[in-house]
Amino acid sequence: MDLTQRRDRLLEHEAALCAPHDSPVYVFYEDDVRDNYRTLRSALDEHYPDSTIHFAVKANYNPAILSILRDEGCHAEVYARGELAAAQTAGYDADDLLLTGMNRRPEDIERALEQGVGHFLVDNATELERLVAAARKTDVRPRVLIRCNPSMEVPTHPEVATATLETKFGLDIDSGRAMAVTEKAVAAEEIDLAGIQLHIGSQIQSAEPYGVAAREMCAFAADIRDELGVEIDVLDLGGGLPVPYDDDVPAPETIIETIATNVKDSLSEADIPLPTLFLEPGRRLVGNAGTLLARVGVIKETPYATFAVLDAGTNTVSSYWPYPIYALSDEEPTESYHLAGPLCYSGDVLAEDVSLPPLERGDTIAIDRIGAYSLGSASHTNAQPKPPIVLLRSNGDVETIRQPESVEEIIGNAQQLEDLALDDVTTEAD
């Protein structure tokens, strides 16, 4: 769907979407979530059928969104216990989960083992030791993936490149660290080595790094076979598939074809049977499935620009990305605005020089394709509540899938000092 079609869909359902809650509100679309999954799944069916999609739950851990993906047959990558709980709330089979994490608590690993979590990712030697100890204690045998780092430069925002030389993630291949931990995993009687994993980063703007990553990992799989005498069952190439915010980015089909070709070519050269392929897309499955609707409250001219001040700002979306922005109206964009949020810092500007129709107080602005990471990055700056979420179902119904937050919930679990507390305080929350 192009932006005009997306705007028309919002206009068609505007009354129902805006009725349940005050502005601002996140709108999600069941159809988009399902379509996104099916696009990836059918590309995999064509190019590499023995494969599983593990949705990276950190991109959106709302249980309703998770259950739509589960209903499509998607598996999930869950980072530590919070996301594990979200996936369980959404009804995922524990065997379909891949538990990742850095510095996980031993008791969380033990609980995940007892619950039957399908695969465990190991980022470092200490995590392997913890997993082995937990396996011994619970008498459950985990299937383990070793997180590798081939030190790659990838085209994306530096904050979200995760297989570089500088990163905290994974085990470096070139220095032999990845092999040393893999060897320990093979030797440990309490666990099964299932395979190897890498995640090169997020919003990767071209297909080529996936080809490089696939070849690096296949070469490492060949080294494992040569040095340790074992063949991997699972090759996990992580996520990072991009959402078209504004730039041209490769279609997911192109990336999947690139991965499949490189894996098949490299492994047939090394005479290794094809493993099951795991992918862990997050952003690509939900990024375009959500829109933030915010309302113009103030139009303010300064000597520098015309600001339209919205009731939602940088506290409601994940930063870095150039989200498409448009007004919910049929009028032509003839004006230019800086779109500011309501927060108490100068950086609270969502976008500058946005072409929009002439705005008035009360107009609704769509900040589109915010479906990935906004929920997790939304903050309570200035004790602002996070917006509620409504879902446009495939049948046209509108359902609330996250209730509005009250001010009381934001400050509620802080503790007042008893000796300074007053009895007769009333708050906005009362």
Instruction: Tell me the angle at which helices 208-228 and 252-270 cross, rounded to the nearest 10 degrees.
Output: 30
Please, which of residues 364-393 interact with ligand PLP by CB under 6 A?
372
According to CB under 6 A, which one of 9, 283, 338, 402 is a site residue for ligand PLP?
Answer: 283
Say whether residue 241 binds ligand PLP (CB under 6 A). Answer: yes
Q: Where are the alpha helices (DSSP H) in 48-159?
A: 63-72, 80-89, 106-115, 125-138
Say whether residue 202 binds ligand PLP (CB under 6 A). Answer: yes
For ligand PLP, the closer of residues 159 and 408 by Cβ is 159
For ligand PLP, the closer of residues 9 and 58 by Cβ is 58
| Strands annotated E in 187-341 | 192-197, 234-236, 276-279, 290-301, 306-310, 325-327, 335-340
Tell me the window of 66-74, 233-241, 258-266, 407-415 that interacts with ligand PLP (CB under 6 A). Answer: 233-241
According to CB under 6 A, which one of 280, 311, 363, 368 is a site residue for ligand PLP?
Answer: 280
According to CB under 6 A, which one of 77, 83, 127, 311 is a site residue for ligand PLP?
Answer: 77
For ligand PLP, the closer of residues 145 and 263 by Cβ is 145
Virtual CA dihedral for 151, 156, 161, 165, nearest 10 degrees? 30
Closest separation in Å from C-beta 29 to ligand PLP: 18
Tell me the HSE value of 261 on the side-chain side, using a 13 A CA sphere. Answer: 11
For ligand PLP, the closer of residues 69 and 340 by Cβ is 69
For ligand PLP, the closer of residues 280 and 363 by Cβ is 280
Tell me the window of 255-263, 280-288, 362-370, 414-422 that interacts with ligand PLP (CB under 6 A). Answer: 280-288
Q: Look up residue 39 and give its two tokens.
A: 């696009």
User: What number of other Cβ atoms are within 10 A of residue 424's Cβ?
Assistant: 4
Say whether residue 238 binds ligand PLP (CB under 6 A). Answer: yes
According to CB under 6 A, which one of 118, 209, 239, 250 is a site residue for ligand PLP?
Answer: 239
Burial call 339-358: b when 16+ CB within 10 Å, e when fewer:
bbbbbeeeebbbeeebebee
What is the rounded CA–CA span in Å between residue 22 and residue 31?
Answer: 24
For ligand PLP, the closer of residues 100 and 384 by Cβ is 100
Say whether residue 83 binds ligand PLP (CB under 6 A). Answer: no
What is the rounded CA–CA span in Å between residue 340 and residue 74?
Answer: 37
Active site annotation includes 74? no
Per-residue three-class SS string for 247-271: CCCCCHHHHHHHHHHHHHHHHHHHC
Q: Is the dihedral of CA 81, 82, 83, 84 positive or negative?
A: positive
For ligand PLP, the closer of residues 20 and 376 by Cβ is 376
What is the rounded CA–CA span in Å between residue 82 and residue 410?
Answer: 19
Site string for ligand PLP, 49-68 (x = CB under 6 A): -------x-xx---------
Closest of 283, 282, 374, 291 to residue 28, by C-alpha: 291
Tell me the window of 13-21, 177-185, 208-216, 276-284 that interacts with ligand PLP (CB under 6 A). Answer: 276-284
Tell me the window of 89-97, 236-244, 265-273, 305-313 that interacts with ligand PLP (CB under 6 A). Answer: 236-244
Say whether residue 104 binds ligand PLP (CB under 6 A). Answer: no
What are the angstrom distances between the C-alpha of 318 and each of 58, 193, 328?
12, 36, 22
Closest separation in Å from C-beta 186 to ligand PLP: 22
According to CB under 6 A, which one of 195, 209, 240, 275 is a site residue for ligand PLP?
Answer: 240
- Residues carrying an active site annotation: 344
Site residues (vs ligand PLP, CB under 6 A): 56, 58-59, 77, 100, 199, 202, 238-241, 280-284, 372
